[in-house]
Structure 1
Amino acid sequence: MTLGRIHSFESMGLVDGPGIRTVVFMQGCALRCSYCHNPDTWIFAGGTEITPQELVKKIIRFKPYFKDGGGVTFSGGDPLMQPDFLVETLKLCKDAGIHTTIDTAGYGRGGYEEILKYIDLVLLDIKHVTDEGYKDLTGASKRGFDEFLDAVQKAGTKLWIRHVIVPGITDSKEHILKLAGMIRNIKNVEKIELLPYHTLGVDKYKKLGIEYKLENVETMDEEDLKELENTLKEELNN
């Protein structure tokens, strides 16, 4: 029997894909992003153990709310870190006629071709545009992300691109122009979101006894973010 580990469950998410969505936060992540606001999802030991059948039974209870393209979004941690459990759960969701989305940094344990057969939409978090920047921010090479992106392109899955703007790290015009160049080469992009860096997860680090690497970084200014959004739009429209 396949078992998965779930960190938490949100019944009515509004920012995790189209429509009203049930969001399943899964345990386990290969990255250690400097600004991660869910460090309690990093290790597999935490969370609740559950079968795909038990989880889908919970999701189906909220199906009446899945209007306007709503459905289920698997987040984390990173759902790609539990591939066997994810595939089984996705299959059951598709059998139940539920729209499926994963919110991922594209860093997992392989099996992407099989996983993507049952996914309607990928919310893909681009951490950084260069390998060096990627390593500095996440502790891992960008190669893992590139492998998943390649699989998504082959599968033809729809994409929403997300990118966190961190003051002093990813907020320069030069960086945004490089990001535009990268996005231009990606197929099936339906939406691009620049997300402002925030410090909402800092208290969790204190409780877990983990050092917060961006302690002196201020939250992202909304006006500066809008300016960068305009720069990105203009560059992509050229």
Structure 2
Amino acid sequence: MIRVHSYESLGTYDGPGIRLVVFLQGCNFRCLYCANPDTIDAKGESKETTPEEILRMAVSQKPFFGKKGGVTFSGGEPTFQAKSLIPLCRMLKEAGIHICIDSNGGIWNDDVKELFTLADLVLLDVKEFNDGRHKILTSRSNAQTLKTAAWLEENNKPFWLRYVLVQGYSGFKEDIEALGAHFRNYRMIERVEILPYHTLGVHKYEAMQMEYKLNDVKPNTPQQLEEARQLFGRYFKTVFVN
């Protein structure tokens, strides 16, 4: 059984084309800006769902996917439930449906390795390149995320590098330059996406009686986003502000 938090049909922001986005329950990170705090707990208010049920939903929506679309597993953190996802991904592949995994790259075991092997594309969220600042932002180290990126590169697995731009937390010029220098020769990075910081999930914290710790952080200005795009553009050919 797979613990599913929610779905988004006809999604256009989480991978190529039009996609069915499956938001899964459970996450190993504790990102200060998390827009889905209700997905962090391993159980939460999720629904136990059979792989067959998700497969039927994906097959029914396949006519809308076109040549580029498919299914994206997001969260939460999909690799948190890697073992349960493997049979579903095998069935999706048999049905000819494109599989995308949106992951922070922070969990690694044999099941995660097999899951990434089955995926057609990985959206790898690199929260911060400086490990000290990464720990402040997520309460976790980025060491495994960087190892996961190296594995994707070595195993010829296409991935998109995603970076949430948060002023005062991940908007540091020297850290973006260090990230660019680290990844600039990776062949398997198909595109870089800069995700603007937003406060759309703040109401969830209030409903859950949780403290939102970034109340003083303002959304990015167009100038800040453009400066970040140009900075990333020094190292990568394909950079988008999502």
Cα shift at 1:206: 1.0
Cα shift at 1:86: 1.2
User: Contact between 2:101 and 2:116, CA under 8 Å: does it hold in 1?
Assistant: no
TM alignment of 1:1-238, pairs within 5 A = 3-46=1-44, 47-108=46-107, 110=109, 111-236=111-236
Cα shift at 1:149: 2.1
Whole-Å separation in 2 of the counterparts to 1:140 and 1:168: 18
Runs of 4+ in 1 over 3 A off after TM superposition: none
Whole-Å separation in 2 of the counterparts to 1:156 and 1:235: 20
Whole-Å separation in 1 of the counterparts to 2:205 and 2:216: 14
User: Which range moved further: 151-160 or 200-209?
Assistant: 151-160
Whole-Å separation in 2 of the counterparts to 1:155 and 1:184: 17
Whole-Å separation in 1 of the counterparts to 2:171 and 2:32: 15
Once the two structures are superposed, residues 127-157 of structure 1 have per-residue CA deviations (whole angstroms, 9 ceiling, x without a partner) of: 0102111111100111231332233223211
Q: TM-score, normalised by structure 1?
A: 0.94
Whole-Å separation in 2 of the counterparts to 1:27 and 1:154: 29
1:61 counterpart letter in structure 2: S
SS at match of 2:192: strand
Whole-Å separation in 1 of the counterparts to 2:167 and 2:21: 28
User: Contact between 1:116 and 1:155, CA under 8 Å: does it hold in 2?
Assistant: no
2:100 counterpart letter in structure 1: T
1:205 counterpart letter in structure 2: Y
2:197 counterpart letter in structure 1: Y
User: Contact between 1:13 and 1:23, CA under 8 Å: does it hold in 2?
Assistant: yes
Q: TM-score, normalised by structure 2?
A: 0.92
Whole-Å separation in 2 of the counterparts to 1:185 and 1:33: 28
User: Contact between 2:108 and 2:144, CA under 8 Å: does it hold in 1?
Assistant: no
User: Contact between 2:101 and 2:121, CA under 8 Å: does it hold in 1?
Assistant: yes
User: Contact between 2:129 and 2:176, CA under 8 Å: does it hold in 1?
Assistant: no
% same residue: 41
User: Which range moved further: 66-75 or 150-159?
Assistant: 150-159
User: Contact between 2:106 and 2:142, CA under 8 Å: does it hold in 1?
Assistant: no
Whole-Å separation in 2 of the counterparts to 1:132 and 1:207: 31
Structure 1 stretches of 5 or more lacking a match?
none
Cα shift at 1:11: 1.2
Cα shift at 1:123: 0.7
User: Contact between 2:152 and 2:188, CA under 8 Å: does it hold in 1?
Assistant: no
Cα shift at 1:183: 2.0
Whole-Å separation in 2 of the counterparts to 1:79 and 1:169: 24
User: Which range moved further: 112-121 or 197-206?
Assistant: 112-121
SS at match of 1:35: coil
Whole-Å separation in 1 of the counterparts to 2:235 and 2:43: 44
